[in-house]
Structure 1
Amino acid sequence: MTFGRWLLGVGLSAVALAAAPGLAQAQEGSGCGGFRWPLEPERAALIRSDKPSLANGGALALNIAMTLELQPLTSAGLPKAPERAPKLAQAFAGHFALAAPAKPGVYKITISSPGWIDVLDGGDYLHPKAFTGAVGCDGARKSVKFDLPPRPLALQFSDVKDDRISVIVSPDQ
């Protein structure tokens, strides 16, 4: 390999690395139409001001938007460490029981602001089937699809900037 080719390769690598953060952001949509699947019913529920609040450790219901009260990660008492380490130095977190879905299938967990979602089945992580996110959409920031079994589960939210986050768990239509 000649020096010129090597230098060209180094230059192209530097350009690719510099563009990488922008590429990651480009994968997310912009505005409420930027999600990969429709979320208007979930977003409408999440922006309602009369949502019930739920303390850390409480029980979530399906198809009901709720405001979750979170704790600093170090005192949230999560059943298991988040599958992804928090990126925020002062992250908030919480854990909640989810009643058994009436029937197994794919469900969306939609949150109002950035954060990490873990679903635990008997202590094991369930892995998402798909996710979508968009910036600049009032009420909805991220939605993750999970294939849920017909038994009670634990949901953990972590790496949240504020001490509250709104969430709704709804069937994938």
Structure 2
Amino acid sequence: MRRALLGLALVLAGAGARAQPAPEGQAAPESQAGAAARPASGPAAPVPSACTDFAWSLMREEAWFAAPGLAQVASGDAVRAEMPGAVLALKPDAEVAFPVSPSKVPPPGSYGGVLRFPAPIQPGIYQVTLSDEAWIDVSQDGQTTRPPMAHTLNPACPTLRKSLRYQFGTAPVIIEISGAKRDTIKIAIAPVE
């Protein structure tokens, strides 16, 4: 029953979507992210069972990442609160001017970036979700990193890798990504459901 409901949610969220080609150097299963949301005329591909095996549901983020026209943002850009997901272009970690030093030293040859998120209107718990392996640091004072309240990780899911939950106050948020293996990563920032 749960899988049927999740599949239906993806079909509804991705109606009219087209499959997207996988970025260069990305494994074939990742290219199926766009296939999870097909036009209404065709059946939706089932969500891999591994992608339903997180500590909390990430089906909303799965649908956002598979949607056509996912916004493209560069390192250093600010995202709008109403833009739930985006493809973040990363740079070699050594070239990124992190406002706060990453809490984990990035391995040589990895990629990183900085994304700015507007101050939430109301404080609350938000989750930051990534499509691939990378390290996440969050700051609201521009000087220290904020520890996550909770996290969930599943390397077996080809379209979602991890999600961390943070308590956000009413100050602007800086999200730092480091240690990524590729020069792009999908990211979503949204209040918990």
Q: Common fold, TM-score beyond 0.5? A: yes
* Equivalence for 1:167: 187
Cα separation, 1, equivalents of 2:85 and 2:113: 16
Runs of at least 5 residues in structure 1 that lack an aligned partner in the other structure: 1-29
Cα separation, 2, equivalents of 1:95 and 1:116: 12
Cα separation, 2, equivalents of 1:109 and 1:59: 15
| 3-state SS in 1 of match to 2:188 | strand
> Is 1:94 aligned to residue 118 of structure 2?
no
State the AA in 2 paired with 1:83.
S
Runs of at least 5 residues in structure 2 that lack an aligned partner in the other structure: 1-48
- TM-score normalised per structure 2: 0.71
Question: For 1:38, which of 57, 78, 84 is the aligned residue?
Answer: 57
Maintained 8 Å contact 1:47/1:138: no
* Equivalence for 1:22: none
Structure 1 residue 141, shift from structure 2 partner: 0.7
1:80-134 CA-partner distances (Å, limit 9, x unpaired): 2211112x32110001111011210110000100011111121111110000011
Maintained 8 Å contact 1:34/1:133: no
RMSD, aligned α-carbons = 1.3
> Is 1:131 aligned to residue 151 of structure 2?
yes
Maintained 8 Å contact 2:132/2:161: yes
For 1:147-162, what aligned pairs fall within 5 Å after superposition?
Answer: 147-162=167-182
1:148-168 CA-partner distances (Å, limit 9, x unpaired): 011112110000000000101
Higher strand share: 1
1:35-80 CA-partner distances (Å, limit 9, x unpaired): 0001101111012241110011000233521000110011111112
How many residues were matched structurally? 143
Maintained 8 Å contact 2:52/2:59: no
- TM-score normalised per structure 1: 0.78
Question: For 1:85, which of 94, 102, 105 is the aligned residue?
Answer: 105
> Is 1:70 aligned to residue 90 of structure 2?
yes
Maintained 8 Å contact 2:110/2:178: yes
State the AA in 2 paired with 1:163.
D
Cα separation, 1, equivalents of 2:138 and 2:75: 15
| 3-state SS in 1 of match to 2:138 | strand
Cα separation, 2, equivalents of 1:48 and 1:164: 16
